[in-house]
Structure 1
Amino acid sequence: MTKPRLWITRRLSDATLERAARDYDVAVNHEDTPGSAAELIAASAEFDAIIPCHSEHFTAEAVAQFSDRLKIVANHSVGVDHCDLPALKGRGIAVTNTPDVLSDATAELAMLLMLGAARHAVAGDRIVRTGAWDSWSPAFMVGKQVTGARLGIIGMGRVGRAFAAKARGFGMDVHYFNRTELPDAQAEGATYHQSVESLLKVADFLSLHCPATPETANLMNADRFALLPAGAVVVNTARGALVDEEALLNAITSGHIAAAGLDCFQVEPSGNPAFAAHENIFMLPHIGSATRETRDAMGFRALDNLDAFFAGRTPRDLL
């Protein structure tokens, strides 16, 4: 029996590539560069399936030029804002993602960013690394304490709940906004807010865990930053599109926001060069899911979806 042809657009984990080669006729982009629209269009005529990452953009314009051969796009990501879902579905192309498996890894990174931002990690590292640490006083490098503080979470899905669980280990008072109130068993004592505005007013720390959609674009704008208590810390490990970066810079410059921890940006790769002037902005290059265990799990979840599809079953993560 002829194996389905599969294009893997980026260099996935060794375990993922080994399994894919066993079960599919695979081509891998070992150069590990983002696939362009032209490459996606060409691949649609050569392959039955594609495993892309968030770096490949399935726009309506590109999808309109796809061949009828391509049957499924099995994303190696949870977010699918890089895919025009109506356009893909209109061409009869199945789309899946990889939920569940990266929640803990991303929540761990959110905790790192929150602690690092609150305790001056960027400035402290620079001072020690450059040999500038030549004195001490009780007023030196005083930061914001996490333990016992009120944490606001926007988006109480899998990652948001995993982050809340870790925050409880620090004795944080967890508050959240979600499209719907969680059952008590999932909320685990967290306080529900019916509006973003209500949540922001009590959030000493704010962490974003919602998807990027037209409705959540620039979710955190100047008006909403102003609602946070003075000296709040903002963390974003979800999507850069959620934050109006100019408004965040203004809030940081004014001192209303004490610090920010960011793993994602409006422009990726590269981020926002203006943030570099502020040592109270702790930044990482969108690596929330970057652990060996999670990369294997994401790759296997994408392959599980392909296996089900080509066996005539409904993929577990069909969107």
Structure 2
Amino acid sequence: MTKPYVFITRKLSKETIQPLMEVADVHMWNEEENAVPREVLLKEAEKADALLTMLSEKVDKELLDAAPKLKVIANLAVGFDNIDVKYANQKGIAICNTPDVLTDTTADLTFALLLATARRIVEAAEFVKKGQWKSWSPLLLAGYDVHHKTIGIVGMGKIGEAVAKRARGFEMNILYHNRSRNMEAEEHTGASYTSFDELIETSDFIVCLTPLTAETLGMFTRESFKKMKKSAVFVNVSRGPVVDEEALYHALVDGEIAAAGLDVFVQEPVDEKHPLLTLPNVVALPHIGSSSKETRKNMMELCCKNIELVLCGQQPKTLVNKDWGLSVK
């Protein structure tokens, strides 16, 4: 009996995919750093029963129409804005993501980025490495305190709540804005719900953790940054397109806010000549929010398990399109 065909769009360890290989004929793009070319992905999709994709892959109508056998797509991320979920659902394709297993790791990175930006850690490290440290002075590379300040979290999901718990350790005042109140998070963290405008006007640190949706696209505008404190630090570990990057650049150059820590950009990988990368008060990272060895292994294993379950006629662990039915395909 012919095994179902699975294509993985980036090189994973044999140990990770071994259980999936017991039930499927598994092939993968054999590079870790470079994304699979579009033409290769389309060709593989034609014969695939399952795809394991990265955020770098655009799973749109063209690709879905090219994949008549496709039963499941497992996306190696919590977010799935790279996938046309609605169209996939119409075609009876299960869409799975990797929530929960990366919550604490991403929260760690978020708070690390906040600290690094506030205290000018990257700038200071480069200062030493370049031999510029000639003497001590009272305000040498002085940044901003984090403890006892106000943090405003935009997007109080599981990662937002985990960031709030870390903020409690710094005895911060915690505000949050969400499309709906999260009473459980309020109880666990002491966070206070507020409007978006009040949050950006009163917070010392504005941390964006919202998913990318039609409502959040471009939500941080030039007007948003103008409302912030001049000492405010803006941190984005959600998706690049929630921010008007040109507006952020001008806000930083014009002194409307103090600094920004960015793990995500509108275009990824970001161009090394991007204007934001020229600014000393920007800490830029290559979208590594969940990138610890342990967590990435857990994410990969969850993707493989979801594919295995669907191919074996069972319900996957983390289904995005909840109304998907096993009887459809």
Question: Is the TM value for this pair above 0.5?
Answer: yes
Equivalent residue number for residue 278 of structure 2: 277
Q: CA deviation at 1:36?
A: 3.6
Is 1:107 matched up with 2:107? yes
Secondary structure of 1:92's partner? Answer: coil
Equivalences for residues 87-102 of structure 1 within 5 A: 87-102=87-102
> Structure 1: where are the runs of 5+ without partners?
none
Equivalent position of 1:129 in the other structure: 129
**Which moved further from structure 2: 9-18 or 134-143?**
9-18
Structure 1 residues 37 and 89, CA, compared in 2 at 3 Å: closer, same or farther? farther
Q: Is the 8 A contact 2:17 2:301 kept in 1?
A: no
SS in 1 for 2:207: strand
Alpha-carbon displacement from aligned partner over 1:118-149 (angstroms, at most 9, x marks no partner): 11123211210011100221122211000000
Alpha-carbon shift at residue 67 of structure 1 (Å): 3.0
Q: TM-score, normalised by structure 2?
A: 0.91
The code of the aligned residue for 1:306 comes to: I
Find the counterpart in structure 2 of residue 74 from structure 1. Answer: 74
Q: CA 1:59/1:185 → structure 2, altered by over 3 Å: closer, same or farther?
A: closer
User: Does the aligned pair in 2 maintain the 1:110–1:237 contact within 8 Å?
Assistant: yes
| 1:128-172 per-position Cα deviation (integer Å, ceiling 9, x unaligned) | 001110022112221100000000000011111111111111111
List gaps (5 residues or longer) in structure 2: 321-329
In the TM superposition, residue 71 of structure 1 has moved relative to its aligned partner by: 1.1
Deviation at 1:2, TM superposition (A): 4.0
Corresponding residue number in structure 2 for 1:39: 40
Task: Work out the percentage of aligned pairs sharing the same amino acid.
Answer: 38
Preserved contact between residue 152 and residue 200 of structure 1 (Cα < 8 Å): yes
Instruction: Report if aligned partners of 1:13, 1:295 keep a CA contact under 8 Å in 2.
Output: no
| Correspondence 1:300-315 to 2 at 5 A | 300-315=301-316
1:247 Cα offset (Å): 0.6
Query: Are positions 1:208 and 2:208 aligned together?
Result: yes
Whether contact under 8 Å (1:79, 1:211) holds in the other structure is: yes
Asked if the contact 2:306–2:316 (Cα under 8 Å) also holds between the matched residues in 1, the reply is yes
**Aligned pairs, how many?**
317
Q: Which residue matches 2:160?
A: 160
CA–CA separation in structure 2 for the residues paired with 1:123 and 1:285: 17
Aligned partner of 2:180 in structure 1 is: 180
Residue 327 of structure 2 is matched in structure 1 by none
Cα contact 1:13–1:299 (8 A) shared by 2: no
Shift of 1:187: 4.2
Residues 215-294 of structure 1 aligned to structure 2 (within 5 Å): 215-271=215-271, 273-294=274-295
Question: Would you say the 8 A contact 2:71–2:311 is kept in 1?
Answer: no
Q: CA RMSD in A?
A: 1.6
Say which SS state the counterpart of residue 153 (structure 2) adopts.
strand
Q: Do the aligned residues in 1 keep the contact of 2:73 with 2:96 (CA within 8 Å)?
A: yes
Asked if structure 2 preserves the Cα contact closer than 8 Å seen for 1:5 and 1:48, the reply is yes
Q: What residue number does 1:191 align with?
A: 192
Q: Which moved more, 1:138-147 or 1:29-38?
A: 29-38
State the secondary structure of the residue aligned to 1:201: helix
**Equivalent residue letter for 1:284:** L
Contact 1:122 1:279 in 2 (8 A): no
TM-score of the aligned structures, taking structure 1 as reference length? 0.94
- Per-residue displacement from partner, 1:200-221 (whole Å, max 9, x unpaired)? 1211001111111122111111
Q: Which deviates more from structure 2 when the two are superposed, residues 32-41 or residues 157-166? A: 32-41
Q: Equivalent residue for 2:326?
A: none
Structure-1 separation of matches of 2:17 and 2:317: 21
